Amino acid sequence: MSVKSRQVLAVLTACALVVAVMAAAGITVWRDLAPEERDIIEPILNPRLGLLLMISLVGAGAAAVLMKSFAQANLLGPSLLADELGLIVGTDPSRRLKPSGSPELQRIAESVNALADQRRSLQEDVEVRIREARLSVEEERNRLAALMSELNQSVVVCNLDGRILLYNSRARLQFRALSDAPTAAGGGEIIGLGRSIYAVFERNLIVHALESIQERIRRQSSQPVANFVTTTRAGQLLRVQMAPVLSAVEGEAENAVSGFVLMLDNITRNFEAETRRDQMLHSLTEGSRSSLANLRAAAEMLEYPDLDPELKERFLSVVRDEVQGMSARLDETANAFADSLKTRWPLDEMLGADLVAAAQRRIEKKVSLPTKIEDVDPGVWVKVDSFSLLQAISYLVSRLSDEFEVREVRLRLTAAGRLVHLDIIWSGQAMSTETVMAWELEPMTFAGESSPLTVRDVIERHDGEIWLQREKTQHRAFFRLLLPSAAPQEQVEAGAFLKGESRPEYYDFDLFKQTEASHALDDRLLSELTFTVFDTETTGLNPSEGDEIIQIGATRIVNGKLLKSESFDQLVDPLRELPEASTKIHGITPEMLVGQPPMVKVLPAFHAFSEDTVLVAHNAAFDMRFLQLKEESTGIRFSQPVLDTLLLSAVIHPAQESHRLEAICERMGVNIMGRHTAMGDAIVTGEVFLRMIPLLAEMGIRTLGEARQASEKTYYARVKY
């Protein structure tokens, strides 16, 4: 029974008790009177029965007021105090009680604060000891993370269930490129912590590779690895090397496989290039076969001494035509594969600004010459062998310093279509073209470094050019290096902003409808599940009357951690007018929605992002109603279980009057940095949900099924959805 119900029951009981006592006293006195006394008193009391009844009611009212005051002090006060205690224990150890209520409750609050201070002191001491004990482990982990992030190869680590435990940024970029989700739908990755690798690879393929590795381990092979080539669902060709992660847990079998590491290379382009080369060679050989046969026949006929001049000229014409045809085919083949022959030298893609910064550091260190950056296009990417190119740049600057006494150089990098201009600029004595050519053709030797390569070798390996150019107006000269450009690579997404809520609390959606998919996870602990916390912004508050979603924001919770880097944040074209009133709430303008994908393209990407997870939202029925209405037009159905932080708050703190997101954040010490962006609300809801999990555990609610059952019993759940 709730605290308010017990209050009402106590007040009614007090009133009934007062009335009953007064009635019992009157009846007892009346029965004790003699008949003569009753005859005397009865005429006196009869006219005054109303007054007696009024006195009884006043007495009952006074008792009710006193009992209400007593109940508030002894029922509501302890209940609120218990809620505050739960927050201190479960979410915010720094929180302290404000002494209020009766003197006894105030003394209890003061004692609790003293105990909380002592507990906090002990916790800090334990945390210091834990930090000291984990320093070496953290250092090793950071080294591993740094190594993984800098690897040029895509690396993914999975457990035996195929769940991703670790991956590097290269893998994320590669898998995003492999995704068949619309590129406009932000966050449509097919990789993420806790997600299944089987979204990319066929399960049987991984199982077969694991069986091969385990067989090699049983044979004590020196290299228990498996290699295979496969195609992704997006049609890309991948070369994969799988290595086992052997168990180091005490009590488990020696050399037991506890997971696997996948090292991935996208060989689609190489395979296509080799296929084109094979086709060209086949065409060359088959085409030349007939030409050679014609040439042989013509040559044999020309050997006849009495050949008619007209026939002789005809055969000579055949020879000329076939030779020209073979020459044209050879030229076509050579030109078609010139680029592929040049790209066999390994070149890496890097940001042009990084190349210039590296050149600046190397010149100042090796040549001891001051440098300045004159102009660098921040969006330019280059494809270079950075080591040999930096050697060539440093060598040229060294020769300028030694032979022409140049005291400063400037570096400039600009885009020029498919090429990039890298300029080494200086002021000083003019230089002849012969000197430049001599520098280009001499082996590079400077500052204690020696290389058999020449500047010309380095430039040719980049399929580039180098020349000397003068700026007469500024009395300067510069070497211009033409380098190949590369396609810009995807950068790390900017951080999200935070927000709150402004919507009705109930809507026509059954949050507790059981499906086979949702029921399968009921026995799993909340602390073990993977969650997708999401929120939407809409054109209005009435989905059944035509309002549409204009933004979806979501993030993931894996192993009790909120992964803000794994997010889904996408604006949506509602294909209808955006009311000005809604813009004032969320700040999204009609101009921001121009060119954005419609819901039929965004929803499949969001469904892929949230697949195999439990959905979490604040006032989830509102958001789920919008998704439900799109099932018929998109064919996308969200059948996974859903948890609502509004209902869970009512479970944890039933005595609190407000369960709005702002009020919950204030109670649980969650900072709200901003309002009304879908991504922001998702992050705030995720932080609130993480703080709710230990509070639910203290109440005996540990599994997903228990959380859903408790939510269904709250007052808010009984309102028609």
Residues annotated as catalytic (active site), given as ranges:
676
- Which has the closest alpha carbon to 265: 238, 305, 227? 238
Q: Which two tokens stand for residue 357?
A: 């910064």
The letter for the amino acid at 245 is V
Angle at 14 between CA 11 and CA 19, to 5 degrees: 130
- Classify each residue of 383-415 as buried b or exposed e, where b means 16 or more C-beta atoms within 10 Å of its C-beta: bbbeebbbbbbbbbbbbbbeeeebeebbbbbee
In order, the DSSP letters of 426-472 are: EESS---HHHHHHHHHSEEEETTEEEEEEHHHHHHHTT-EEEEEEEG
CA separation for the pair 269, 236 (Å, rounded): 9
**Cα–Cα dist 39/23, whole Å:** 20
Query: What is the distance between the alpha carbons of residues 449 and 661, in angstroms, rounded to a whole number?
Result: 65
Beta carbons of 605 and 185 less than 8 angstroms apart: yes
Q: How far apart are CA 158 and CA 641, in angstroms?
A: 25
398, 432 in Cβ contact below 8 A?
A: no
Beta strands in 107-179 (DSSP E): 154-159, 164-167
State whether the Cα torsion 541-543-548-552 is positive or negative.
Answer: positive
**CA 556/CA 609 separation, integer angstroms:** 9
CA–CA distance, 664 with 661 (Å, rounded to integer): 5
Give the residue from 261, 190, 271, 195 showing the smallest Cα distance to 230: 271
CA atoms lying within 13 Å on the CB side of residue 489: 16
* Measured distance between the N- and C-terminal CA atoms of the chain, rounded to whole angstroms: 24
Q: What is the DSSP letter of 72?
A: I
